[in-house]
A = this chain, B = another copy of it.
Amino acid sequence: MSDWRSIAAKKKSEQDALIPNEWRLVSIPSPSEIDVSRIPETCGLLDAIELEITNSDVDVLLESIAKGRWTSVAVTSAFYKRAIIAHQVTNCLTEIFIERALKRAAELDEHLATTGTVIGPLHGLPISLKDQINIKGLESCMGYVSWVGTFAERNAVLTDILESAGAVPFVKTNVPQTLMWPETFNHVFGRTLNPHNRSLTSGGSSGGEGSLVAMRGSPLGVGSDIGGSVRIPAGFCGIYGLRPSYGRVPYAGCVNSLEGQDSAPSVLGPLTNSIYGIKTFMKAVAGARPWLKDPLAVRKRWSEDEYNLADHGGGNKLCFAIMWDDGIVVPHPPITRGMEIVKKALLNAVIDWKPSKHAEILTCLRNIWQAGAQEDFQVVTSPSGEPVISSMDPEDNTPVTDILDARATKATVSAYQLWQIQKQKRNLREEYLQLWEDTVKTTGTGRAVDAIIAPVAANTAIAHGKNRSASYTSVWNMLDYSSLVIPVSKVDPELDLVKAPHKFYNEDDKANYERYNPVDFMNAPISIQLVGRTLEEEAVIAMGEIVDAALKSHH
């Protein structure tokens, strides 16, 4: 067996060799050039049509392809080129397979030309996939050196569904080793940077998707989320992202971490530049009856009735609850400003959310993940001998002991002990449901709160290695609530001043307060989560459209 470093270096150099010379940037921006989000527009590699295509959202792209204005080959080529540009400045890709994607696009164009009909609701649309989502014949090493050289024998169920709907899977995207980090770094592909400020993390674990979609190097990407892994990169990169409930999007046929952990599992979800993109993805997936292909996919069709907010008074007089902080760590000033913007945009049709037992929920969730995580990571890394990464910090290799860090050393627990933790989880979920239902007394609508508006994290995108908590997102994973990330604004050093110290909840809260300094967070996107109930994706999307429209008209 070769040294793990040489296997990783070989894979990385093979990846680089797949970049066509004519798509290489003539001048690589210096590390001091932190905002690279405009590079695709300024680098000169994309012509006017390619820029128009890649600056278009999913609705325009689908309509333009269906009406023959643009071919799928033209659209896929343009996004591929822009993805490669994005990769050169943020390191967001894993697998590159240009020829294969363009061949597929050409077949779709041929079908449309011959029959006059699209093959499905995603006809011709290039879609990026997080590295774990298998595409037959390609690697899904997930940043593990041990898995380099293993080629998928078949598509993931989702890949099949997307292809049947007419999509063109065209790149795979970067992840952190183990997937259990809210940043993106591994020994094979290295670190993904935030395009709005490369000194900041893209977030994780779907950080490759976050950077790529924010660079408009992909119109629609698919990530996974076990504790915030779709929402943190979406929030940190300023795009839309949905964490659907367990089983709404089929997971079968993907590679993963912590496999067999049935109690608080990961889910797949979309990242894109518009809520329309989120809706289009979810509708296409539900429409493909995924339960006939994945036994864990829930038999629940897309419901127009629920999308029309049948369970929310038809959308009249919605009442949102804002969670200003989670009682553990107070958010940084720009996050709070983002929430205030939302509150104003919603014309104050909001009440305050009073979180309860978030610390217990997070501890319970960590205990479930940790129950077998150490062994899982050891089993996967031992064939190559690569170390299990203990910190995402480029300058710090001391082990992390974060509340949600599944790598923290822990004695093995027995199955019976795990059951007791899982029983506690059920009890906490029951209590939180009651908490939500009890808001019927304060909304004035005759209904409980329609959705919660909450921070994505206590911080915006932060310096590499410093994003040590996923508490604002993970809490909804354990509760299995559907959650949509919506971009609101960006950090503005003139508006987002350091505030006077508050009474700190704890040491983490104090440390988080002290970490804030508007200059260091320059240009970082500000986002919110819109949190609905379990399996309520349709309503969450519809309410997201309302909030998004309010924000746009407010700006």
B295 touches A260 (CB 8 A): no
Which residue, A416, A422, A535, has most C-beta atoms of chain B within 10 A? A416
Determine the chain B residues whose CB is within 8 A of the CB of A433 once the complex forms. Answer: 292-295
Residue pair B300, A299 in contact (C-beta under 8 Å): yes
Chain B residues lying within 8 Å of A430, measured Cβ to Cβ, are 252, 294-295
What residue in chain B is nearest A414 (Cβ atoms)?
A: B412
Q: When chains A and B are docked, how far (Å) is the Cα of A292 from the Cα of B433? A: 7
For the complex, what is the distance from the CA of A414 to the CA of B422, rounded to whole Å?
Answer: 15
- Interface code A439-478, partner B: CB below 8 Å = 1, 0 otherwise? 0000000000000000000000000000000000000000
Q: How far is the CA of A422 from the CA of B298 in the complex (A)?
A: 18
Counting CB contacts under 8 A, is A375 at the interface? yes
Is the CB–CB distance between A262 and B262 below 8 Å? Answer: yes
Q: How distant is A554 from chain B, measured CB to nearest CB, in Å?
A: 32
A480 within 8 A of B: yes
Specify which chain B residues have a CB less than 8 angstroms from the CB of A414 in the assembled complex: 372, 375, 412-415
* A302 interfacial by beta-carbon distance below 8 Å: no
CA distance A50 to B412 in the complex (A): 61
Contact check: which of B261, B419, B536 meets A259 at CB < 8 Å? B419
A371 at the interface (CB under 8 A from B): yes
Cβ–Cβ < 8 Å partners of A371 in chain B: 415-416, 419
A479 CB-CB contact with B under 8 Å: yes
B299 touching A536, Cβ below 8 Å: yes
Q: How far is the CB of A444 from chain B (nearest CB, A)?
A: 19
Interface centre among A262, A376, A437, A535, by most B CB within 10 Å?
A: A262
Complex interface: chain B residues within 8 A of A19 (CB): none
Q: Which residues of B contact A292 (CB under 8 A)?
A: 433, 437
Q: How large is the interface on A (under 10, 10 to 19, 20 to 34, 35 or more residues)?
A: 35 or more
Q: Which A391-433 residues sit within 8 Å CB-CB of chain B?
A: 412-424, 426, 429-430, 432-433
Chain B residues whose CB sits within 8 angstroms of the CB of A335 once the complex forms:
none
Say yes or no: is A258 at the interface (Cβ < 8 Å to chain B): yes
B contact residues around A423 at 8 Å (CB): 259-260
> Is A82 in contact with chain B by the CB < 8 A criterion?
no
Q: Which of A258, A294, A430, A432 has the most CB of B within 10 A?
A: A430
Cα–Cα distance between A31 and B426 once the two chains are bound (Å): 46
Interface string of A496-536 (1 = CB under 8 A from B): 00000000000000000000000000000000000001111
Instruction: Given the known inter-chain contacts A296-B429, A423-B259, A429-B296, please indicate yes or no for A291 contacting B535, CB distance below 8 A.
Output: yes
Add 19 more A-B contacts to A258-B419, A299-B534 (CB < 8 A): A259-B419, A260-B420, A260-B422, A260-B423, A291-B533, A293-B437, A294-B430, A295-B432, A295-B433, A295-B479, A296-B429, A299-B300, A299-B536, A300-B300, A372-B416, A372-B418, A372-B419, A376-B419, A412-B414
Interface residues in chain A, defined as those with a beta carbon under 8 Å from any beta carbon in chain B = 252, 258-263, 291-296, 298-300, 371-372, 374-376, 412-424, 426, 429-430, 432-433, 437, 479-480, 533-536
